[in-house]
Amino acid sequence: MTNPLRDPQDRRLPRIPEPCALVIFGVTGDLARKKLIPAVYDLANRGLLPPSFAVLGFARRDWGDGDFEDLARKAAQSGARTAWREEVWSRLAGNIKFVPGSFEDDAAFDHLAQTLSDLHDESGIPGNAAFYLSIPPSAFPVVLKQLERTGMSDNAKSGGWRRVVVEKPFGYNLTTARQLNDLVDDAFTAQDVFRIDHYLGKETVQNILALRFANNLFEPVWNSNYVDSVQITMAEDVGIGTRAGFYDTVGTARDVVQNHLMQLLALVAMEEPTAFDATAIRTEKLKVLNAITVPTDVFTNTVRGQYLTGWVAGERVPGYLEEKDVPEESKTETYVAMRLGVQNRRWAGVPFYVRAGKRMPRRVTELAISFKKAPHLPFHQTDVEMLGHNQLVIRVQPDEGVMLKFGSKVPGTTMEVRDIAMDFQYGEAFTDASPEAYERLILDVLVGDKTLFPDSAEVEASWNVIDPLEEAWAGSTPEPYRAGEWGPRAADEMLAREGRAWRRA
Amino acid sequence: MIGLWDTTGIEVVKALANERRSAGGLTSGLALTLVAVVDERQVREAEAAATIAASAHPCRLLIIVRADVTQQRSRLDAEIVVGGRLGPCEAVVMRMQGRLALHAESVVMPLLAPDVPVVTWWQCAPPERIAYDPLGVVADRRITDSAQAADPVGNLRIRADDYVPGDTDLSWSRITPWRTLLAGAFDATNIGVKAVEIIAPDTDPTAPLLGGWLEARLGVHPTRRSGQGKIMEAVNLELADGSTMNLIRDLNAGIATLQRTGQSDRILPLSRRPLGEELAEELRRLDPDQPYAAALAAATGRSSLDERLAPRVHIWKDPALAERPEATPLEPVAS
């Protein structure tokens, strides 16, 4: 029987998950402290958590519930987006539990299983639980084995739903991704696996679908007849920080292109889904991911870079090779630019230029659709010298928004046409209302809405794009670029050869 | 910020355009025009609320303060604020005195942002009939606040009689937190409901609306009982199997307790939100709110509110005629 108080027309009532528990593995780690716990607090503060809700932390610490609550309180207080309200916290804190133990320790997992089933009687949580694996992938097999052994991953045994949340990296290449997928899908069912790509939790990214499929203005020109090229940029001003050990083994392409940028590309290039639900959207995304072609001549159509010592935002920063724990002869890239194609009727012949890098002049992620020039200009050549391509830019972060660039007459007695920008600032006006990506995604996991989570087929399809490139790059040396520049010269030359240029993002 | 004293509507339009230009396209993505009809004593409160709401919905905010309607001499004072103390909106605060106050629309119409929805919000006693106020007739959405009427509960009947789709009342947004908790409690059960009791003061308009909503959804006519406090205190439900489910608000702590037979008590957040957040909730939806219509209909015993036609036609009503009958023959048509 459906809830009589829920009415699809009643959109004031928020979606609230069923009574459930959130089990966080690696709860003392960075991600849990900076993102997950604050997000849980924010959800509680916004009244979006069910009446019965428990958080279980699991980590190798010799702690009681109280010690963990202290850590959680500090994490929530420093990371929360919404105002601090003691009564909300104390309500939440009453349902925070800590289970100490290592991943190999059978007794600890039995204890965890017991704690979960105790919740049934204590707090009326009927076996629903989401397991958040905020741990390195190397620890996945043993944790998943333990969950299987104790029956915690089994929907039928637990009498409710059991879901698992995994973070990137989703493997290291197609083979390892497949192994990981098999492993997770085996322990749980494929239906219950949620892969978090926090980019997809961002409002602007979801707005891409609204912009494209709710409007009639853009769709007719959203194809190779009108689009000249697409640029997808993800620039970070930071370096690798303390992640050298991880970063040096993967590089930019595996770290961000395989997941975030491939997802953005899929959303921009996909066909219209038959409905706005998880399956329909996934079908279309998968089609377009499978249609991506990598250049046959990898070295002319991709550029790898590595940053040198330089200045970023008024500070002198070390080069990649001087960063702590980076091997001296490291050939790992911190910048990558590539020219991809999408082999279908809509996009044949349109280059998709994708670039991502660290130590760029500023932090920005954006999608720019560059339109073809008008086939005939009735103006005098000199009048339109300053007229560029029409552009539609979707800024993902920061200053979320949409910009449309088009030519307009410069006021005056002569006919002179120049580019101007029409700007819709999403962020500026909606900041207060726009939730943190993790908030949205955790809520979706608990509600069971998979629309914003890539599935294993999508992950594998994206590796199919990255793997051949990585193979070709193996052993080559990345081009140096100075920290604080928009990547190596070679990347500019790559576009210049085709008569194009990177947008200054 | 620009202040204009004893000015005209045309000057205000010019000044707003100037301010926008010099502010550099600050609010280029306007989502709506919010017309706030405000009582002189509540200007500050209305501004604070509109600031919160505007931070979630970029808007052009027109605050209208009407005073001394019966005074012979008309006067318009205006203050123009583009992106400043009133948050990320462009605001015009207008004080209208004399006969002009009855023709506020003549100043407001040219100030409405082109082709975006207009929302009119009365931060004062709600009009007897919205059709009497041209500022309500021009709006796509109308927000009243029954709590500010002399007889708040009686005013719900007026709202129901006057209802056309697109009307809502802040008494309705005030109970969204209650409704959220109740709906949440029902997610975990599938037992029918036998009886509903609401404990709230007799003068609280939110109680009949909550009752109306429960009646519309559950088909059970609720009973009312007054408690000790000044606001709604509890909702008690008796389920078909004889067990009970009580949601009781702690008046000071910002929480509510959910008691269910056979289960331990749950503490849930339930605090009074600032007016601005309630207003922001209203502005999130610009289409008619059918659940509100159903709740209002059930609360007042009216039916099929939803089938009424949306557009209103302005009905001229001059308070001066009532107060100074001798003035009528002097200005028969033009005023």
Per-residue confidence (pLDDT) for residue B96, from 0 to 100: 93
The Cα angle at residue B258 between residues B224 and A4, in degrees rounded to 5:
70
Tokens of B123: 């931060």
Q: Quick one: A247 exposed, middle or buried, by C-beta within 10 A (0-12, 13-18, 19+)?
A: buried
**How much helix, strand and coil, in percent to the nearest 5, is found in chain A?**
40, 20, 40
- What whole-number distance in Å separates Cα of residue A297 and Cα of residue A472? 9
**In contact, A436 and A444? CB cutoff 8 Å:** no
DSSP assignments along B247-301, one per residue: EEEETTTTEEEEEETTEEEEEEE--PPPHHHHHHHHHH--S--HHHHHHHHHHHT
User: Which residues in chain A have their CB less than 8 angstroms from residue B82's CB?
Assistant: none
pLDDT of B238 > 50? The answer is yes
DSSP bridge pairs for A403: A393, A423
Across residues A93-104, what is the average pLDDT?
Answer: 87
Top-confidence range, A118-122, A476-480, B247-251, B324-328: A476-480
Top-confidence residue, B327 or A123: A123
Given the cut 0.90, state whether the ipTM is greater than it.
no
Per-residue confidence (pLDDT) for residue B320, from 0 to 100: 65
Residues of chain B numbered 95-134 and touching chain A (CB < 8 Å): none
Per-residue confidence (pLDDT) for residue B155, from 0 to 100: 94
Across residues A58-68, what is the average pLDDT?
Answer: 80
The enclosing H or E element of A71 equals: helix A65-79
Residue A120 is a catalytic residue: no
Contact assignment for B180 to A13 by CB distance below 8 Å = yes
CA-nearest residue to A120 within chain B is: B263
**CA dist list (Å): A211 to A216, A450, B25, B31:** 9, 21, 22, 15
pLDDT of A350 > 60? The answer is yes
pLDDT of A427 > 60? The answer is no
Q: Is A380 annotated as a binding residue?
A: no
- What whole-number distance in Å separates Cα of residue A251 and Cα of residue B111? 55
**Minimum mean pLDDT among A302-311, B117-126, B314-323: which range?**
B314-323
Per-residue confidence (pLDDT) for residue B335, from 0 to 100: 41
Across residues B181-190, what is the average pLDDT?
Answer: 82
Per-residue confidence (pLDDT) for residue B99, from 0 to 100: 86
DSSP state of A486: S
User: Which residues in chain A have their CB less than 8 angstroms from residue B29's CB?
Assistant: 401, 423-426, 429
Q: Which residues contact A176 (CB under 8 A, 6 or more apart)?
A: none
Find, among B174, B121, B126, the residue nearest to B154 by Cα.
Answer: B126
Q: How confident is the model at residue A429 (pLDDT cuts 50, 70, 90)?
A: very low
User: Which residues in chain A have their CB less than 8 angstroms from residue B264's CB?
Assistant: 122-124
Nearest neighbour of B183 by CB, restricted to A5, A124, A433:
A5
Residue B177, preceding peptide bond in cis (omega within 30° of 0): no
pLDDT of B323 > 70? The answer is no
- Structural domains of chain A in order of their starting residue, each with its CATH number: 16-167 (3.40.50.720), 200-496 (3.30.360.10)
- pLDDT, one tens digit per residue, over A162-209 is 999 998 888 889 999 999 899 888 888 888 999 998 888 887 888 899
Per-residue confidence (pLDDT) for residue B333, from 0 to 100: 44
Tokens of A307: 């940053």
- Alpha helix segments (H runs only) across A270-384: 278-291, 298-301
Contact assignment for A47 to B180 by CB distance below 8 Å = yes
End-to-end CA distance of chain A: 52
Q: Quick one: A414 exposed, middle or buried, by C-beta within 10 A (0-12, 13-18, 19+)?
A: exposed
The Cα angle at residue B198 between residues B298 and A6, in degrees rounded to 5:
55
Contact assignment for A50 to B177 by CB distance below 8 Å = no
**In contact, A431 and B55? CB cutoff 8 Å:** yes
Q: Quick one: A181 exposed, middle or buried, by C-beta within 10 A (0-12, 13-18, 19+)?
A: buried
Q: How confident is the model at residue A3 (pLDDT cuts 50, 70, 90)?
A: confident
Contact assignment for B285 to A12 by CB distance below 8 Å = yes
Tokens of A75: 């994490």
Q: How confident is the model at residue B330 (pLDDT cuts 50, 70, 90)?
A: very low
pLDDT of A69 > 60? The answer is yes
Top-confidence residue, B86 or A433: B86
Contact assignment for A5 to B217 by CB distance below 8 Å = yes
pLDDT of B325 > 90? The answer is no
- Alpha helix segments (H runs only) across chain B: 9-23, 43-56, 104-108, 134-137, 152-162, 170-174, 176-187, 206-218, 275-284, 290-300, 319-323
**CA dist list (Å): A207 to A13, A39, A213, A233, A355:** 22, 21, 10, 17, 22
Across residues A373-382, what is the average pLDDT?
Answer: 87
Q: Is A358 annotated as a binding residue?
A: yes
Q: How confident is the model at residue B309 (pLDDT cuts 50, 70, 90)?
A: confident
Per-residue confidence (pLDDT) for residue B322, from 0 to 100: 57
Contact assignment for B186 to A3 by CB distance below 8 Å = yes
Identify each DSSP E strand in A377-469 by its residue range.
Answer: 391-397, 401-409, 417-425
Across residues B82-107, what is the average pLDDT?
Answer: 85
pLDDT of B331 > 90? The answer is no
- What whole-number distance in Å separates Cα of residue A495 and Cα of residue A497? 5
Per-residue confidence (pLDDT) for residue A301, from 0 to 100: 94
pLDDT over 90 for what percent of chain A? Answer: 46
Q: How confident is the model at residue A433 (pLDDT cuts 50, 70, 90)?
A: low
A82–chain B Cβ distance below 8 A for any pair: no
CA-nearest residue to A122 within chain B is: B264
Tokens of B244: 């009970």
pLDDT of A436 > 80? The answer is no
- Considering the candidates A111, A120, A260, A389, report the single residue annotated as catalytic: A260
Per-residue confidence (pLDDT) for residue A415, from 0 to 100: 81
- What whole-number distance in Å separates Cα of residue B227 and Cα of residue A221? 63
pLDDT over 70 for what percent of chain A? Answer: 98
